[in-house]
Structures are given as C-alpha cells and as structure tokens.
Amino acid sequence: LNEDLLATPQGIEASLIAVYSQVNGRGNRMASPSNWVWGSIRGGENNKGTDPGDYSDINPIQRFEAQSTQGVISDKYNGLYEGVARANATMRILPKTDAKGSAAIEAQKVKVEAQVRFLRAHFYFELKRGFNNTPYVDESVDYQKGIELVGNDKDLWPMIEADMQFAIDNLPETWSEAGRVNSWAAKTYMAKILLYQHKFDAAKAIFDDVIANGKTTKGAKYALLPNFSDVFKASNDNSAESVWAYQSAANTGSVNNANPEFDLNWPYNTGPDGPGNCCSFFQPTIEMGNTFRTAAGLPLKNRAYDLPANELKTDMGLESKDPFTPDAGPVDPRLDHTIGRRYIQYLDWKPFPGKAWIRNQPNAGPYQTKKYVYYKTDKGTNQDNSSWTPGYTAINVNIIRFSDVLLMAAECEVEAAGGSLTKAMDYVNQVRTRAQNPADFVMGLFNAGATTDYLNPVMDYTKPAADYQIALYTAADFATAADARENIRMERKLELSGEGHRFFDLMRWSFGATPTYGIDDINAYLTYEAPKIPSGAFTGAKFTKDQDELLPIPQAQIDIQTPDILKQNPGGY
Amino acid sequence: TVADESGNFMPGVNIILKGTAKGTVSDSEGKFSLSVPGNDAVLLITFVGYGTTEVQVGSQTSIEVNLQPDLTSLDEVVVTGYSFDKRRELTGSVSTVKTKDLTVTPTGNVEQLLQGRVAGVTVISNGQPGTTSQVRVRGFGGFGANQPLYIVDGVPTLDISFINPDDIETTTVLKDAGSASIYGARAAAGVIVYTTKKGKKGQKLAVTYDLMAGVSTPGKGQDMMNPTDFADWTWNAIRNTEDANARAGGVAPDYATAFAKFNHPQFGGGLTPVIPDYINVGGAAGVTGSVDLAAEKLKYNIDPRNGSIYQVVKANKQGTDWYKAITRTAPIVRQTIGVSGGGETHRFYIGLSQQDQQGILKNNSFKRYAARANSEFDVLPNLRLGENLQFTYLQRLGLSGGDGGRGISADENDILSAFRMPSIIPIYDEFGGYAGTAAKGFNNPRNPVASRDGQANNTAYQAMAFGNIYLEYDVIPGLTLRTSIGGNYYQNRAHNYSRWQYENSENNSAFGYSEGGSYRFGWTFTNTANYKKTFGDHGIDVLVGQEALNTGKGWDDNESGLNPFSWDPNFINTTNTNSRQAGSYYDNGANMSSYFGQVKYAFKEKYILTGVLRRDGSSVFGVNHRYGTFPAVSAAWRISAEPFMQSVSFISDLKIRGGYGTMGNSNPIVQYNKNNQYTLYGGNVGNSSYDISGSNSSATTGFYRTSIGNKDTKWETAVTTNIGIDGQLFGGKLDVIIDFWKKDTKDLLYQLPLPATVGYNATPPYVNVAKMQNKGIDIFLGNKGNITSGLSYEVNVNGSFLHNEITEIGGGQKYMTTVNPGFRGINPIRNQLGQSISAFFGYQVQGIFQSSEEVSTAATQSGADIGRFRYKDINNDGVINDADRTFLGSPVPKFTGGMNFTLRYKNFDLTAYLYTSLGNKIFNVSRWFTDFYPSFQGAAISNRVKDSWSPTNTGATIPIFESASNFSTNTQSSSFYVENGSYLRLQNVTLGYNLPTALLEKFKMTKLRFFVSANNLFTITGYNGLDPAVGGAADTNFGIDVGNYPVTRGYTGGLNLAF
C-alpha cells in the first residue's frame, strides 16, 4: 500500500485508527498509558512481584538503579515515538488528500487533524514527563529529511500545548463513536498539561469549565459513577466518569486489543478458580495496603499508617492452609477494590486464598492487584482466551477519569491565585462521598469460629468484609494550604492507586514549599518496605536526587544520533 | 575388465585409444572391447574421481585394470559454472567432494554433509533430522543471507534438502571470484554445484540398491539434582540469603525465622526440608503420609472444560530423568534404487529413494520420498535433448528453531524444559494424567513430555518438483550451444494442534488449532554458447551466455481457531473452531536478467589465463542501480613444466594460481525485503487496529508506515583475492592444495537503524553502508599408498583458518544497535567495528567477592556482596557500569577441519572421519536457568551448583546460591556464560566388506558390499552444555545455547548392491 492509496477520505481515517491503536504501545508494553511500571511501581503503590529473576529488567526500575541500556526504557521510548510517527504520517497524508471541492471532506480533514494532534500531544506528554526533553519531530521532518539531526535541546511543552490547543479548537463535543476524543477530553488534557507546568491559574480556569460543562464523547455529563468498583468493569466502559480511556476489546483476533500490557499482572496458579492464572506481577506493596488505614474515617497523617500499631495485618509468611484471621481495624472501603488480600472476596471469584495465588510471597508480598481484573461472569466475553495466557480483557484503560479531574482541580484551588480551599475540600469530599457508598462495600466476613479448613473458609456474605470507615473532611481539615495540599495528595494516592499516576504526581509535587516531597516519600517507602520483603528485593535501594526523577535517554538512540545531538539526562549513565 | 580399488566392476568407464577419438565405455560388468591398431596402442582409461590410467596394450588380448581413486586428480573433470573443466586447467579456487563421502552419514540434508569435507567451508548444524544448517563458504560475507547458492544440474536454488545423497554424481564448491563470479550477483557467498547421476553411452542396464539402517541414541542429559539434593540446596539458598540480609542489616542471621518465613509449600518451614509423599493432592502441596486414592479418584478431573482441576501427584523420590523421558533411541532408514543405462542415442538414470529418520525427541522426524529421472537423447548426432527432474515428498515434523531448524539452540524448547523440571515431579499423576508444576513450589516449567505428546497429531508435508529440460547443439566441432529451462515448484501444508493444559502452573487455557500452506513456482531460463579448441600449443575456451529467472511466485495462507466442540483430530478443521482467524500473503518473487562471458586461454597447459564478466539486473533494486557488473581475472602458471623445475625430482606437478575479482550479492533484499525500494503502508489487527466504536468485541484495522524505501540501494560487492598452489609430490603420493584468500565485502547491505523518531515499526531500508573482511587459509593434504601388498591406505586432511571482522558499519555507528537479542534480560551479542560478527559482549568476571573488605575496596558495583560476581573495571574509573562491558569472545571458529582416513585390506575397507572446530566460544545462557536460584526459583537445579561459592569453597566459579537477582548475580551478560566451544568429533567410522568377484559372478552381481558404521562415537570438548555444535538462525546472532538439540551417537549398517 503506498502513500497515494491512503490520501483519500477512507485512507486518512484508516491512518488515524493506527494512531489511536498505538496509544497502548502495541508491541511495546512499556509504552502503554497504564504506566504500571513507570507510575505505579516507581510510585511505590505496587512492586514488580513474581520471582526476582523473572523479567528482571524491571528490578532496577523499582530499585531506582535504571541504566540507559535497559530494554524496558527503550521499549517505552520506541513505543511512544511510533505513536508520534504514525501521527506525523497522517499529518503528511492529509494535505495530499484532494477533497475535490467537497466541504464535508474538508471538514473531515480538519477533524482528523484535530484527533491526530490530540494524540501526538499525548505521546509527547508521556515522553516529556518520562524523559524531560526528547527530540521534537513533526510532519516536516522525516527519513532523509534531517530527522536524525533533531536533538533534545528544545522544550517540548510549547509544542504539546499547541497541538492540544488545535484539538480544543477543532474537535466536536460529541461523536457517534465512543472511541474518539472530543473537545472536552482535549480541554481536560490541556489542564493536566498546564498543571504539570505548575500553571495553576490557567489550569484552574479550564477545570472549572470542564467540571461545570464537560461531557463525554457520547454526550453524558461528566460525573462520578455511584460505585467506585464500577469504574473497572468492562460493562461500564465509556461511562460518565470516563474523560479519556484507551478502548479495549476482547476476541478481536489479536490480544493486542485486550490490554496486553497487563497479561502478566494476575494472581498466580489460580487454575479455573480465579482470573488470569499468571504471572503474579504488579503486586500491591505492603505500604500501599497500610495507607488505607483510617482513624475516625480519615487517613492517617505523617505516614503513621506504617507504625506497628497501625499496619494492616497480613498473611505474609503463611501458607493458605495455615490459620489466619484478617485485619479487624478500620479501613477505607477502597482498599478492597484495589488490593486482593487473604479472605476478602476477590470480585465474583472466591475469597482470596493468600499464598496459593501468589507466585513468590517472600519476594512480592501478600497482596494481588484487583483493579482491571475481569469478573468470572465476563469470562470468554470481556476476556480473551486466544493467546498463551487468559489474562486479556476488554476493560478500557482510563487515562483521565472524572475523579482524577476533581482531584487535579482541587490542587489548583489550593495553588492558584483566586483558588478556594473550601472548593478544594468540596472536590475531595465528592470523591470520598462516592467511596462511602455502602452498597459498594465488599461483602463477606470471614467467620473464624466456623472455619476448620482454612483452604475453604466459612464466610458470612451478609456482612461487609472488613470494618469500612470513611468520613468526609471538614473545614478544619482544610484550614491551611499546607493541610489542604496534604489531604488532596493523600486522596489521590487512595483513589488512584495502581492506575499509573503516583510517581509522576510525586515528581510534580516536588516544588515550591515541598521541594523534596517525592524523593522523601519514595525513600521512606523503600526504607519501610525493604525489611518486609525477605528476598531482599528492596534491600539497599534508594532514590537519588537529580537523577532518578527522569529516565535515561536510551543509549541506543544516543549511539544512533550521536551524543552531540542527543544529550543524556543527568545521572551517571 | 575394469574394476575399482576394491575389485568391484566399474560400469561406464571411458576407454579411449590415445591419440584418437576412438573409444568405448565399459558395461555393467566392467567389460569392454575395443579394436586397436597394433601393439603400440595405448588406452587411456578415465572415470570421474579416479586417476587416468594409461595401459600399453602390447600383445594382450584381455586387459584387467584396477583404477585407483584420485585424491585430486589433475585430470579430474570438474563441473564448474555452466561448463566442465579439467582440474589441471583450473585457475580459481575449487573443491570437490566425493559422493561416497556424502553417503556415509545418516543426515537428512546434504548441505550438512559438507562439514569438514571442504577446506574453506564452515558448517554449523544440530541433531534435528531435516534441519537446515549454517553453511558458510569462506566466512561471513555480510550480515545476513550468507548461505551459498546451490546449482543443481544447472538450476539455481537456495534449498537443497530435497536431494538424496545417493543420487549425486558430483559436488563442486566454487570459492573465489575466479571460479564463482560467473554466477555474478548471487555468487558472493560461494556457489556449490551439484550434478546428479546420468547413464553413459552404450552402458548396459545397471541396477544399484543402497541401504542404510540404524539408530541414533539420545545420550545423556545434563546432570541435574535429585530430589533430596534439590531440597537441601533450596535450603542452602535460604540460608545464604539470610546471611546476606543479616549482614546488610548488621544483625546476626536468624535461620529459624528465615525458614519459617520462607515456608516452602512442599518442604515446609523447618530448619531442614521435609520431602513430602505427595506434591499435589487436589491443590494441596507438601502432603506427607498416605492418601485414600479410591476416594481421591472420585474427585479426579483433568479436563478444564469440566470444572476445577483435581489431581493427585506422588513425589518421585528417586527422581525423574526428564531428558530420558522426552528422548528415545531413534531409527533411521535410507534406501535408494538406481537404474541406469544407455544406448547409442540415449542415456538415463532413474533414482527412487526413501529416507525415514526419527529424531531422538518424541514426535520429531524427517521423511523424504524422491523420484529422480535424468535422461538424454541424441536427436541428431550433434543435437541432444535432455532433462533432469525430481519429484519429492518431504515431511519434517516437530522441528523447532528459526530458519528451518538452525536456530534451535536459541529457543526455550522442550530440551530446556527437561532441565528446568525438578526431578521430584513424576511424569504422570496417580491416575494417568500429566504431572507438573501445578504442584506448588516449583515455579513455571512445563511438562516437556506432555509438550512432546501434544504434538503427536501435528502433521505437515512439502511436495516439490525440481529440474530442467535442455537442448545442446554442436554447431561445429568445439562449439556447443545450449538452452535450458528449469523450474522449481514447491507446495506445503501444515496442521498443528495445541493442548489445553492443566498440569502446569502456567497453562494454555484454550485448545488451539491452526493450519496453513504455501506454494511457489520459480523458473530459470539459460542459454549458453561454448567454444573449446586447441590450436597447437594454444588452447582457448570461450563461454557466453544469457540467463533470466524468477526466484518464485506464490501465495501463503494460514488459518487458526480455538476450542472445537471435540478434541478428536478427525473432527477438527477450522470450520469447527471458534475465534477463527485467517490470513494470506503473496510473493511475486524477484526477477533477474543476466549476461555473462568467460574466456580462457592456455599456452601449453603451462600458462593459463581466465577472464570472467557478468552483468546482472534485478527487480529488487531501484532504476538507478538495477544493474551491476562483476568481473574477475585469474591466472595459473604450471611452474613444474618449466625446464628449471625438472631437476626437482620430488615435485611431480606444481601450479601456482592467482585470482582477483568481484562478486555481487542481493540476497538480503531478495530474501528479506523485496520491496526495499518502496515506502509502504500496511496494517493488521495485531499492530494497528482499534475499537473506535467502543464495542468491547471488535476492532477496526488502521494503516501505518510499515517500511521505508530507498531507491538508491544497490548490490553489495565482495572483492576477493586468492593465491594458491596445487601440487603433486613424490610421484603422486602427496597432494597439496593451499589457498590464501581475502574477501572484502563493501557496500554491504544493512538495515541501518534509524532513530526511533522515524517510527519504530517502520522497517528501515537496506542501504549500502557497511564493510566486512574475511580472510583465511584453506589447506588440503592428501596422501595414499600401500603399506604392504593388499593393505593400502589413504589419508586426507583439510583445514581452514578464518578471520572475520566488521570493518565499517556506516552512519558513523560503532555497533549494530538493532541486533540485541535478549535471553531473559541478558543481551549477549554485539556486532561491533573491529570485532567478528555476532561477538559476545558483557562484563568480564574477574572473580567472586571473597570478603566484605574486598567488596568495599573494589570498584563500586551495584548489588556487590560476598560470593557474587566481581566484574572487571575496564575503564578504571572506580565504577562498574555500561562502559565496562567488553568483548568476551566470538562464535566464529578460528579453525575448522576434517580428516578422513581409509584403510583397505583385501576386501575390507575401514574409514574414519573426524571433524574439528577450534577457537569458537559459546554463550551458554542455559546456565541462567539451572545454576542460579532466583532465575525461576523452584525450578530444577544443576548438580554443578554443588560446586558454587561458599566460605569454604572459595575457589568456585559459580557464585553463591541465594535469592538475590541483581547486577552482581544473574541478570547481566557476563563472561560467566561464555565457554570454550572447541571440539573434536569422530563423526563416522565405517567398516565395509566387499564380496569377492568370484562370488559375485556366481550371483550375477557386480557389487555387494556390507558395512557397519558408528556415528559421533566421541566428542572431545570442554563445553558444559549438551553439545558444542551451537549454531543460530541469523549470522549476526548465533552461538547462543539455551536448548541445543545435540548431535548424538548412532549406529548404522547397510549394504550396497549392484547388478
């Protein structure tokens, strides 16, 4: 197929589809927008899990010992640039497409361009926050047109903003096809881009508009779903909470449409009794579990949740056949929608059996992830069996969802001139109110007295699985900007755990009044976690300032483009 | 009567009355008659592969001649490019192989048989029946597609697996430009010319029957731990880990707590491991005591369609030998019936053959049925019509490894699985199902017996037709016109089933079925004119020709589906499956158009000069560079014919040859990217589809740029220089051929990596940027003679030294960034300037850290601790990082050679054939799986680990056995994995017995020989893996052993019969 065949009204659509397609990285799992390694593992929400030697290329990432030659880093860089290249290819084809005087085709061309530029802004945004500046290439440079001479000396932000502004200006509010981006998604993404640059005033203005007027591609006004757990069900894809999500689909003929980046991130050795069956990657950290501890319905401050008195009780070191009773203390109900833990009902499968579903507990801890896991009732429909493992689903991957928007807006209320701490609290409380919904509590209390066979626990499904205590914040909690900031940041950790945001949040929070916020947080987490993991996976690991904030530019790219043109990031690479 | 060295009658021998054109041919009983003018008459008796014998007739009326085989007969007629030459007149570098050398070993693919037979040809192969091999003539000319061009009866091909060795008449290897550049653009990697057997003029009907039958034995697997040792060493790992953790925490080790925390599902959490009686009772692990089997049987289920799996698996306390479980003693049979004959105006050969070779792995086999018919008719006295045609049915089953099997060593295959399965796991559960790692605590190896058994219903076949039809017309004496049209038809189909597994920790969760096929049709049209004439002392030989060809047009298709209603293969087709997928692909082949000429001039057979010129055009290049011209000149000086040499009595014949020329190569493009000149877009569901409508169940396919074109790409050119001598010393007792050669490949075709910014999925075009140098020395020595009367011997030795070096990569790049194969996170290969192709790259292990002091005083190294690797600080900057990686060796052998030794005593013959490969390294990454605890902890452990480092075993080379998996343990490419791959192998010993002539006559036979052979009787090597013959699918990426299929010992016997 040559370029001329694509320069047609059908061809530009097909070329656009390929750009959308690349958003999940396709063959490059590390380039997916789930950011499970780059956002969640580096953020301390989850660890690599599995065996020490399995996919050991991720080990240095979770230990903050990245090297420029690592395959996972190239994988991210390559996958994102493939997206940029597909966007640029479409941009080159657009002007060659002769509308033959048709206004409809001219309008279509503009809409295609707007979608392409939205997606290109997204790829560059991911590059920017991963690597800082990387070469900016648009449709004007290409093979034998000087592309190898483009270095990383230019700030990417202005170009990202320009692309996103074009999208805002030219995208429609709604589409008949749910998978297309609309102008509200573009506005929201623009606000996020501004937030990352600490341009709070401009970001706040957009968030205000989005929260007041924003709607989904299918025309639904943005809102939180009634149940927190509904966000991660394939049947709720493209709900009112979905601002922009990667459209996943099962049984399409390729599992690349069914979240291939998650295919390792499932409980292990479940057989047909549980989902995925492999490979025990991406297990929540012990520290993340502790974070859900509440007191008077509110999270604990100053990492008090990691104190021995407050830690969650786990079955670390126990066999599934050994006696165990789950933690009886107060916890945020989102804990059991986020983390699979012993004797808590695991979706509609069965009570989580602990070590039996974990590949290597001494290396990876007692938990399994729960978000983006398919339900037993979805087996075969919203789940895809056509590859080597069953862990492929049709659950859309949220890139921006509405509770994320509310919490970003809350930050702006704290930081922007003219912001309101009350409004910030209101946004946070909206998120917490939804989490309070008792109808969404995980049910099934372990009955220790009646259980004799610990492999087959007796459960009381009329009672909640744990002591769920969650309260709203009051004005006193948001009295100062510092308090407000802390509460919002904590809320993001609880609400968005495992969704790939945290590391990037920690880095952008390291500014102004809290210049070492992220570094301190990560080092505290590593210090806490290391002795809990007997394999030594975290022993001696630490975050180094002015180095580990960014990933190294892949060495192979520097070797191809030469170090004079492509400069390495700070750090001893 | 003419007979061979063993007294067998020789049909088809040419007998010519010297000085005349008068002659005849011996019949099937070796008899001939010729009327001679008088007693002075001299008969010249010649036969391919035998020396010319002159017989003074004198007054004899009956003459008995025993021809002696020639080592390198100067009068041997050598089949070269488009023509025949006497070895005496050769100016280029040409080697021949005798057919009987090709038939002694039971191999499915004749290319493999060149191993150790020809100086300058390197063959790296493995033990799979029917596998392809890395066959390299004079080194590795480029980064890919370095396989030689094969010419079978004048028709070019790249796949020679269809040929039955018993059908071959001659094998000639053209090594330098002087000999090969007549094949121009396809000759750079050398040309191997085969001709198949033909009948002779006036030959009585002759029937031959050759049988070879025998077995290959699997040999022994790797030495793995028994269940007790396995448990003990698992405990050692925990203890060692606790030591390291305690040291890091500055506290005393607490083993009791460490074991309790570790709490192995099978062996418990106590200070010593407890071996359980059952490793899986309905999901429960580590069960000691007895189990009520009758009750358990009621719960038993191994069909995942029927709900939860329930198995009862007993611990195999004696230990399962998994290698033994997947292998077998494998039979082989090869038989050929040959019928040949000829009248005054026709000649023919018909060969019918069968080869059935089973692999030592279950459900792995090679079968070939071939029917060959060669004939030639004299339509007019000066017009001949002929054809060479073969129909072949070929079946290769259970073959694994890239590029037709040669990549197997780099695969994680069933052989590796056998060394990953802990020996405590039995093959089967208590009720007949497969046992496996569904029993907890043993990580993820899959039961390799189940895997092999699961392939039982897979089937495949290839049907092929190959051959040509030709006309030859002698216009005037010496001038022959020839036209030939050749074709190559190929069709295959394969059906594969994949099990829905239940026995492993990681299972395929569906039953899969796939089928697919393809066909290709290629053609070659060749027209030549050849004029040979001697004018007094001047001999000239002129050849001009034209050739057009298409490499093969055709289609491929493949279909697959999941979960048919029934798993009965008689029911299954894609129609009966769910989630069906289908795809197809078409290939137009590459077209070539060529013109060539060769002029040879000889003065008194003393001074010989040859010039060759070929111009090739190919459709794979852009219009700017579609044509390439490839000249070569070579000359020879028979110094022994000079008067001043006559006094040197020990030299019978000595010729000095020299040649220089260029050969082209377009193979990388023809084989891998025929559309190199075009920028193309494409898409498929896997790479570029998206569920734009949000349906959750369907996706629209989009298009992206799949390849970038370059119109300026042209031929790569190999410039070769060759200087050699051909000598016969001591009255023909010692033959010597020595060649010094150099091959510089320039404008090397290479997919110069582009920055990721261009788009990672777009294949970069091949451009002419790189350079490679190969140089070497090829030596052949042959000696023969009689020890006593009746006892004669023959020894020949060939050897070649090879140096391969990448001399330029292009684009200012120092190494090939795109070739970086990963093996569980280890990247062993770097193709870099100044190094050989596929060189190993990584950290140099300087030793093992012996103490905390050593750790603290050494260069800073991530993860450094006692008992772990200490890497060398190559740049002496006090930090071990990327910059300290270095070259650790090369898989390219520095020397390969073969030795063939024959003893003949009366009717017995004994032949031994040795092969050696020296100076090559192997990257034994299989040790990552077996020698380190954390790689996949719970999987099997090598017995080597007993010699791992500990405070009391400080001289060890294997690091301490512990949980940590980091930079200082198993995660980096390091010299730990690099081993010496040199070896010497006794490939074959054959003892033969020929029935005496008197007996034969009684049975009306002309030959009956029985033989017994032992293959690969021994291999001398220091290599730790199963077998040092480690190849690879790609030349930029070979010599890596993950799960090599060994070449093993075998025994065969058989007979050769002729009527």
Note whether B604 and B536 are within 8 A (CB): no
Residue type, B48: V
Q: How far apart are CA B372 and CA B370, in angstroms?
A: 6
Nearest CA-CA partner of B513 in B571, B586, B445, B584: B571
Q: How far apart are CA A98 and CA B922, in angstroms?
A: 58
Q: Looking at the complex, report in whole angstroms how far the Cα of residue A526 sits from the nearest Cα belonging to chain B.
A: 14
Q: Do A251 and B697 touch (CB under 8 A)?
A: yes
Residue B34 lies in a domain: yes
Q: Do A556 and B693 touch (CB under 8 A)?
A: no
Q: Which two tokens stand for residue A96?
A: 């060659």
Query: How do strand A368-369 and strand B869-871 relate by DSSP bridges?
Result: unpaired
Residue A540 lies in a domain: no
Q: Which residues pair with B347 in a beta bridge?
A: B342, B376
pLDDT digits (tens, 9 = 90+) for A507-546: 999 999 899 999 999 999 999 999 999 888 998 899 999 9
Which residues form the domain of B38?
1-69
Residues comprising chain B, all counted: 1059
Residue A218 lies in a domain: no
Tell whether A554 and A484 lie within a shared domain: no
- Which residue from B702, B825, B928 is facing A18, i.e. has the nearest CB? B702
What HEC string does B657-719 produce? Answer: EEEEEEEEECHHHHHHCCCCCCCEEECCHHHHEECCCCCCCCCEECCEEEECCCCCCCCEEEE
Residues from chain B contacting residue A146 (CB–CB below 8 Å) = none
Residues from chain B contacting residue A268 (CB–CB below 8 Å) = 505
Q: Which two tokens stand for residue B757?
A: 């910014």
Given this model, what pLDDT does residue B798 score? 93
* Residue A467 half-sphere exposure toward CB, CA atoms < 13 A: 11
Residues from chain A contacting residue B443 (CB–CB below 8 Å) = 51, 359
Residue B50 lies in a domain: yes
Tell whether A61 and A122 lie within a shared domain: yes
Q: Which residues pair with B989 in a beta bridge?
A: B912, B1014
- Which residue from B443, B563, B689 is facing A21, i.e. has the nearest CB? B689
Tell whether A366 and A316 lie within a shared domain: yes
Residue A29 lies in a domain: yes
Given this model, what pLDDT does residue B71 score? 47
Q: How far apart are CA B669 and CA B181, in angstroms?
A: 19
Tell whether A501 and A551 lie within a shared domain: no
Tell whether A555 and A484 lie within a shared domain: no
Query: How do strand A339-340 and strand A368-369 relate by DSSP bridges?
Result: antiparallel
pLDDT digits (tens, 9 = 90+) for B196-213: 999 888 888 999 999 999
Residue A308's CB: how many other CB atoms inside 10 A?
5
**Chain A touched by B817 (CB under 8 Å):** yes
Tell whether A416 and A494 lie within a shared domain: yes
Note whether A370 and A357 are within 8 A (CB): no
Residue A51 lies in a domain: yes
Q: Do B579 and A386 touch (CB under 8 A)?
A: yes
Q: Do B691 and A247 touch (CB under 8 A)?
A: yes
Which residues form the domain of A504?
266-371+396-532
Write down the mean pLDDT value for chain A: 95
Residue B15 lies in a domain: yes
Residue A65 has pLDDT above 80, yes or no: yes
**Chain A touched by B694 (CB under 8 Å):** yes
Note whether B199 and B341 are within 8 A (CB): yes
Residue in the structure block whose two tokens are 């380190």: B932
Residues from chain A contacting residue B966 (CB–CB below 8 Å) = 52, 59
Given this model, what pLDDT does residue B49 score? 57
Q: Do A53 and B862 touch (CB under 8 A)?
A: no
Q: Do A256 and B687 touch (CB under 8 A)?
A: yes
Overall domain count for chain A: 2
Provide DSSP, B496-510.
EEE----SSSS---S
Residue A412 lies in a domain: yes
Q: Do B701 and A68 touch (CB under 8 A)?
A: no
- Which residue from A88, A388, A559 is facing B817, i.e. has the nearest CB? A559
Tell whether A86 and A14 lie within a shared domain: yes
Tell whether A470 and A553 lie within a shared domain: no
Nearest CA in chain B to A316: B261
Overall domain count for chain B: 1
ipTM greater than 0.90: yes
The backbone torsions φ and ψ at residue A380, rounded to the nearest 5 degrees and listed phi first, read 85, -20
Residue A10's CB: how many other CB atoms inside 10 A?
10
Q: Do B680 and A556 touch (CB under 8 A)?
A: no
Q: Do B510 and A386 touch (CB under 8 A)?
A: yes
Tell whether A474 and A554 lie within a shared domain: no
Note whether B512 and B497 are within 8 A (CB): yes
Residue B434 lies in a domain: no
| Element at B55 (helix H, strand E) | strand B50-56
Residue B6 lies in a domain: yes
Please give the interface size between A and B, counted as residue pairs whose CB atoms are below 8 Å apart.
313
First-to-last CA distance in chain A? Answer: 42
Residue A253 lies in a domain: no
Residue A181 lies in a domain: no
Q: What is the CATH number of the domain that holds B56?
A: 2.60.40.1120
Q: Do A271 and B309 touch (CB under 8 A)?
A: yes
Q: Which residues pair with B705 in a beta bridge?
A: B681
Residue type, A6: L
* Residue B35 half-sphere exposure toward CB, CA atoms < 13 A: 1
Q: Do B506 and A278 touch (CB under 8 A)?
A: yes
Tell whether A94 and A145 lie within a shared domain: yes
CA angle B452–B456–B459, rounded 5-degree value: 120
Q: How far apart are CA B357 and CA B395, in angstroms?
A: 10
Residues from chain B contacting residue A180 (CB–CB below 8 Å) = 692
Provide DSSP, B371-388.
EEEEEEEEEETTEEEEEE
Residue A87 lies in a domain: yes
Residue B9 lies in a domain: yes
Residues of chain B with pLDDT under 70: 3-8, 11-12, 21, 28-29, 48-52, 67-75
Tell whether A154 and A45 lie within a shared domain: yes
Q: How far apart are CA B205 and CA B340, in angstroms?
A: 6
Q: Do B691 and A11 touch (CB under 8 A)?
A: no
Tell whether A554 and A492 lie within a shared domain: no
DSSP A137: -
**Chain A touched by B438 (CB under 8 Å):** yes
Nearest CA in chain A to B508: A388
Q: What is the CATH number of the domain that holds A293?
A: 1.25.40.390
Q: How far apart are CA A63 and CA B351, in angstroms?
A: 67
Nearest CA-CA partner of A180 in A115, A84, A270: A115
